[in-house]
């Protein structure tokens, strides 16, 4: 049976702002299917974003939603989750929002292991503001701020999240929609901080400048340049050369932040005569 997206969309907020060929809509739809698959209650689900094209998503979806300031979505989401740990909290962020201006929030959320699911809409660029390079722009690629080629090297979101302590870490792409949906659902079900690196396309500000073709051609690039983690283990190094690994890289059980914080409150309360 066809998935009923209408159940989760605010029709009054359409049309969306995304360009033709942008994959943000594909990632949004994967998130909606994942939320449905995870069985979340719409009224107990909060979707938080910062600023950017990706960050427009909460406006279009029918949950409790917060569109906050650039790079600060994880800070707001942390406050929401701590105020009511029973809520299911998701954060959606562009690579610029999550890794540049929000980079510190990103690593500290990973280290705390707070039960929030972060989906990074990783299109390798600052889409909304016209294609400035981000910490996810690959070395040598053109951006409006690197017209002679990017001299920096990109963050590997998966390695960064794992190094900072996130307990669920995965990567998929807007081409591989079923694994993407599955990973997001698994991240939602995971008790702790979950990071899903969702590789997607910005034909308007990244593809055009780098002559990568249409949105569809950019999606096909993902098909040819990624390899599943499990499949890669049986391949010789030359076959893995130049390929981006996808899959679930970490799933670890570790005490969750709100629960740990709750224990401190329980310890302190009697000492304060029961006062908060």
For binding to ligand TPP (CB under 6 A), which residues are involved?
51-54, 70, 94-97, 121, 123, 125-129, 134
CB 133 within 8 A of CB 146: yes
Q: How far is the CB of 268 from ligand TPP (least distance, A)?
A: 36
Task: Give the SS3 label for residue 257.
Answer: helix
Shortest separation between residue 96's beta carbon and ligand TPP, angstroms: 3
Q: How far is the CB of 10 from ligand TPP (least distance, A)?
A: 19
Phi, psi of 76 (to 5 degrees): -60, -45
Choice between 88 and 205, CB closer to ligand TPP: 205
- Nearest residue to ligand TPP, scored by beta-carbon proximity: 94
The minimum distance between CB 55 and ligand TPP, in angstroms, equals 7
Angle at which helices 177-189 and 24-38 cross, to 10°: 50
Residues 105, 70: contact at Cβ < 8 Å?
no
Residue closer to ligand TPP, measured from CB, 158 or 202: 202
Q: How many CA within 13 A on the CB side of residue 191?
A: 10
Alpha carbon distance 188, 202 (integer Å): 26
| CB closer to ligand TPP out of 54 and 141 | 54
**Angle subtended by helix axes 257-271 and 73-83, to nearest 10:** 50
Shortest distance, CB of residue 50 to ligand TPP, whole angstroms? Answer: 7
Least CB distance to ligand TPP at residue 208 (A):
14
Residue 40 or 118: the one with the smaller Cβ distance to ligand TPP is 118
Minimum distance between the CB of residue 27 and ligand TPP, rounded to whole angstroms? 10
Largest CA distance in the chain: 67
In the complex with ligand TPP, the residue whose CB is nearer, 52 or 165, is: 52
Nearest to ligand TPP of 40, 91 (CB atom):
91
Q: Is 46 helix (H, G, I), strand (E, B) or coil?
A: strand
Pick 35 or 57: Cβ nearer ligand TPP: 57
How do strand 194-199 and strand 226-228 relate by DSSP bridges?
unpaired
* CA torsion, ordered 213, 182, 35, 199, to nearest 10 deg: -30
């Amino acid at each position: 049976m066809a998935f009923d997206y209408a159940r989760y969309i605010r029709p009054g907020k359409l049309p969306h702002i995304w360009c033709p060929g942008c994959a943000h809509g594909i990632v949004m739809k994967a998130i909606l299917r994942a939320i449905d698959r995870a069985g979340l209650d719409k009224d107990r689900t909060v979707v938080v974003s910062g600023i950017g094209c990706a960050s427009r998503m909460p406006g279009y979806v029918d949950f409790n939603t917060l569109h906050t300031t650039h790079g600060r979505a994880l800070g707001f989401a942390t406050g929401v989750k701590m105020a009511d740990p029973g809520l299911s909290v998701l954060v959606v962020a562009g690579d610029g929002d999550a890794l540049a201006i929000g980079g510190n929030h990103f690593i500290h959320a990973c280290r705390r292991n707070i039960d929030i699911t972060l989906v990074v809409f990783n299109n390798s660029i600052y889409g909304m503001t016209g294609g400035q390079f981000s910490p996810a722009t690959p070395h040598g690629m053109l951006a409006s701020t690197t017209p002679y080629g990017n001299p920096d090297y990109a963050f590997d979101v998966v390695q960064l999240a794992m190094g900072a302590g996130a307990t669920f870490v995965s990567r998929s792409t807007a081409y591989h929609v079923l694994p993407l949906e599955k990973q997001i659902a698994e991240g939602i079900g995971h008790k702790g901080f979950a990071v899903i690196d969702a590789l997607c396309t910005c034909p308007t500000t990244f593809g055009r400048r780098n002559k990568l073709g249409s949105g569809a051609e950019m999606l096909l690039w993902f098909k040819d340049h990624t390899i599943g983690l499990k499949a890669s283990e049986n391949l010789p190094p030359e076959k893995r050369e130049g390929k981006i690994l996808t899959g679930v890289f970490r799933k670890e059980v570790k005490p969750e932040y709100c629960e740990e914080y709750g224990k401190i409150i329980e310890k302190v309360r009697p000492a304060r005569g029961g006062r908060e």
